[in-house]
């Protein structure tokens, strides 16, 4: 089947099929005499497998591992289960983060008057968080006290073999 037929069969766009081929998630397609990609039925099923794994939010790296499991008839299902449960834990953590974001935004929206005045607790919170993050970044940045005569632009020119510019009196 050509790339369009493989895309329709698998639910993966032609662009993504080419990308998966480029990164090695699917083997390079056999080319026709005219240079068109030809995919076998097993290739199309592999693309369907990838699509289903993407629908479940597995990363490309995880999908690569799952494909190895799928192709290995001697696999240990406990390994696949462990991988799936680890992914579930990651999804639950993301859900918790999203729920916290929703609660924060709902709280801010409840306290916003939504009128013609410029006062807005949503904007104030965003600005406060931005200022707090900037202050934290500044406090964590190493403070380097300049050593006069050593770290000045003129001294760096002297180290490079250039003479200091002459000053007019």
Helix (H) or strand (E) holding 37: strand 37-38
Q: Is the pTM of this model over 0.85?
A: no
CA dihedral sign of residues 21, 22, 27, 28: positive
Domain 3-71: give its CATH architecture. Orthogonal Bundle (1.10)
The pLDDT score that the predictor gives to residue 161 is: 54
What ranges do the domains of the chain cover?
3-71, 77-138
pLDDT in tens, 96-147: 999 999 999 999 999 998 888 888 989 998 888 777 777 787 878 776 665 6
The pLDDT value given to residue 157: 52
Q: Measure the CA–CA gap between 8 and 82, rounded to whole angstroms.
A: 32
Please report the beta strands in 4-162, taking only residues with DSSP state E, as ranges in sequence order: 30-31, 37-38
Choose among 56, 17, 104, 160: nearest CA to 112: 104
Output DSSP code: residue 72.
-
């Amino acid at each position: 089947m050509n790339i369009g037929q493989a895309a329709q069969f698998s639910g993966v766009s032609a662009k993504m099929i080419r990308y998966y081929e480029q990164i090695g998630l699917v083997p390079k397609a056999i080319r026709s005499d005219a240079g068109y990609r030809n995919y076998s039925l097993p290739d199309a099923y592999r693309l369907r497998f990838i699509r289903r794994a993407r629908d479940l939010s597995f990363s490309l790296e995880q999908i690569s591992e799952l494909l190895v499991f799928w192709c290995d008839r001697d696999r240990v299902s406990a390994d696949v289960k462990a991988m799936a449960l680890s992914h579930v834990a990651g999804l639950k953590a993301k859900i918790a983060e999203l729920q916290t974001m929703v609660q924060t935004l709902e709280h801010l929206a409840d306290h916003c008057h939504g009128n013609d005045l410029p006062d807005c607790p949503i904007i104030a919170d965003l600005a406060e968080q931005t200022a707090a993050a900037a202050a934290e970044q500044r406090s964590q940045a190493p403070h380097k006290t300049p050593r006069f005569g050593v770290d000045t632009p003129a001294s760096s020119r002297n180290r490079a073999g250039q003479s200091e510019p002459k000053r007019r009196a």
